[in-house]
């Protein structure tokens, strides 16, 4: 497997363009399966998760035409299979959206349990509760989830936990159900709004996406020939904003929606980082010493859990003791041990990481234990003295488009080598 060799202590400077949102694209492409027609999706990120999803959808009978590097025409006219049980399903979390999409289209689905990053138990009980409320029978056998319904009927569903995946999956299954579905305590992430906008453009009737109550009035048919452009990836944008600050650089992060970045921007300002927002870009630079801060992850519009590993690298550059409280996932601090190999002074106390700023990071061999943990290792490598070797790079490829090229264009010194090259 490939490794990254990062020569650190480089201040990142220049401009970086953010790609389309991974987590929106992972919902929008399966949503196209609800349609026996063609649609066009623009601003699709070129990442491994999307390549795998595309392969799965092709195995179901969907056809894809690459209009350009970032635009796909999806033709789901001849999709005939509702069985998605290959190894690919286990390779990423977003494969769970095939449950809602296939159930919505065929009233049945057989899918493999989703995989994805391992940061504790990641149950799907709220997805299942939603499908059952709509009238589906759900059986779990041999690692597969079997869903079937004679008909899907709108229902009131109160989510016991705010779940992005359950909110989207219920939306997908309910779009063509009979009657009205209400999701209460729904997640409010921007990509939920994006997926709802895509479905509405196809003729769905979804109101309230982006608030905690979403109402879906079922429609009989959806219409094709829709063109939809995916929103920018707020987690990728946040990663580059943090990278700029951690390296005491000066970066214009382009193609972002500044409103989506507010929880991070506010935290950066609190830490003495300079922020200038424009219509669709944000400049991030550092002039003064970085102040300590406490971060608590929360569902949107709170501080995103996906940005806490990169944020830890920034807190290591600040003066004093900072804390990160992880309130979404129960085991998302495994990467701290990797950072410790580089000299980080930090400890984990249950759901909290205590981070002592000001200690010097030095290059070391570290592992990308998951997607965002991998981003943290790369950022730490950019800051550290000497050479950092990051292994398990495919995790990073899953969700960051051309991360090495983008960082190198900002002045980082990162080389990708395969195991045989480095031997
Ligand atoms: C999605 C994102 C992931 C992000 C996370 C939180 C995708 C593909 N992944 O993951 O990048 O880190 O949102 O913003 O979009 N939960 C239950 N039962 C359920 C579902 C969730 O208890 O049925 C719990 C989870 O264990 C977690 C919390 O709810 O503690 C939030 O999880 P959820 O929002 O569902 O995350 P994912 O959809 O897995």
The pLDDT tens digits of the residues spanning 37-56 come to: 999 999 999 999 999 999 99
Q: Whose CA is nearest to atom 22 of ligand 1?
A: 123
pLDDT at 171: 98
Cβ 124 under 6 angstroms from ligand 1: yes
Rounded CA separation 374/356 (Å):
21
Q: Is this prediction's pTM over 0.95?
A: yes
Alpha-carbon 354 to chain mean position = 25
Nearest to 363 by CA among 348, 382, 336, 335: 382
Query: What's the rounded mean pLDDT across residues 185-207?
Result: 98
**CA separation for the pair 185, 187 (Å, rounded):** 7
Probe ligand 1: pick from 122, 132, 173, 304, max atoms within 8 Å of CB? 122
Alpha carbons 117 and 191: distance in angstroms, whole number: 19
Nearest-angstrom CA–CA distance, 134 and 368: 39
Report pLDDT for 119.
72
Residue nearest to atom 38 of ligand 1 (CA): 165
pLDDT score, position 290: 97
| Ligand 1 atom nearest to 191, measured from its CA | 15
SS3 state at 164: helix
254 vs 282: CA distance, rounded Å = 7
CA-CA distance, 128 to 124, in Å (whole number)? 6
C-alpha atoms less than 13 angstroms from C-alpha of 178 in its C-beta half-sphere: 8
pLDDT exceeds 80 at position 421: no
Q: How far is the CA of 376 from the centre of ligand 1 (A)?
A: 20
Q: In whole angstroms, give the CA distance from residue 338 to residue 316.
A: 13
Tell me the per-residue pLDDT of 373-392, one tens digit each, with 9 for 90 and over: 999 999 999 999 999 999 99
Q: Taking all residues of the chain, what is their mean pLDDT, rounded to a whole number?
A: 96
Q: Residue 264 above 90 pLDDT?
A: yes
Query: What domains can be seen in the chain, in order of their start residue?
Result: 2-18+232-418 (3.65.10.10), 22-218 (3.65.10.10)
* Separation CA 313–CA 335 (nearest Å): 11
Tokens at 307, concatenated: 């940005």
Which positions are catalytic?
117
Omega cis (within 30) before 118: no
How far apart are the CA of 164 and the centre of ligand 1, in A?
Answer: 6
């Amino acid at each position: 497997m490939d490794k990254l060799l990062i020569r650190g202590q480089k201040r990142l400077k220049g401009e970086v363009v953010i790609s389309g949102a991974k987590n929106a694209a992972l919902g929008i492409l399966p949503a196209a399966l609800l349609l026996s027609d063609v649609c066009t999706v623009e601003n699709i990120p070129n990442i491994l998760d999307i390549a795998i999803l595309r392969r799965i959808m092709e195995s179901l009978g969907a056809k894809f035409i690459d209009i350009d590097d970032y635009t796909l025409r999806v033709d789901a006219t001849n999709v005939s299979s509702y069985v998605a049980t290959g190894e690919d399903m286990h390779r990423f979390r977003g494969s769970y959206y095939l449950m809602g999409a296939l159930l919505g289209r065929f009233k049945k689905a057989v899918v493999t349990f989703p995989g994805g990053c391992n940061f504790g138990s990641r149950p799907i009980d709220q997805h299942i509760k939603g499908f059952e409320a709509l009238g589906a029978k759900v059986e779990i056998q041999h690692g597969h989830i079997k869903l079937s319904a004679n008909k899907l009927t709108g229902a009131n569903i109160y989510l016991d936990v705010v779940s992005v995946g359950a909110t989207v999956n219920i939306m997908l299954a309910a779009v063509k159900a009979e009657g009205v579905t209400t999701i209460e305590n729904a997640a409010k992430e921007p990509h939920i709004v994006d997926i709802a906008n895509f479905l509405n453009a196809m003729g769905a009737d979804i109101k309230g996406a982006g608030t905690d109550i979403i109402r879906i009035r079922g429609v009989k048919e959806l219409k094709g020939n829709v063109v939809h452009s995916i929103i920018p990836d707020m987690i990728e944008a946040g990663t580059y904003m943090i990278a700029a600050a951690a390296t005491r650089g000066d970066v214009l992060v382009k193609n972002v929606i500044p409103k989506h970045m507010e929880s991070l921007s506010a935290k950066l300002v609190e830490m003495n980082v300079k922020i200038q927002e424009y219509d669709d870009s944000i400049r991030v630079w550092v002039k003064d010493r970085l102040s300590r801060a406490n971060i608590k992850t929360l569902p949107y519009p709170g501080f995103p859990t996906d940005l806490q590993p990169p944020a830890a690298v920034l807190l290591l550059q600040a003066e004093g003791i900072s804390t990160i409280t992880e309130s979404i996932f129960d085991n998302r601090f495994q990467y701290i041990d990797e950072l410790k190999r580089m000299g980080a002074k930090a400890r984990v106390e249950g759901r909290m990481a205590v981070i002592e700023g000001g200690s010097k990071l030095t290059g070391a061999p570290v592992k990308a234990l998951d997607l965002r943990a991998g981003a943290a290792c790369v950022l730490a490598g950019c800051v550290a003295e000497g050479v950092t070797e990051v292994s398990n790079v495919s995790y990073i490829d899953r969700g960051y488009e051309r991360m090495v090229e983008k960082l190198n264009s900002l002045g980082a010194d990162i080389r990708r080598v395969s195991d045989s090259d480095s031997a």
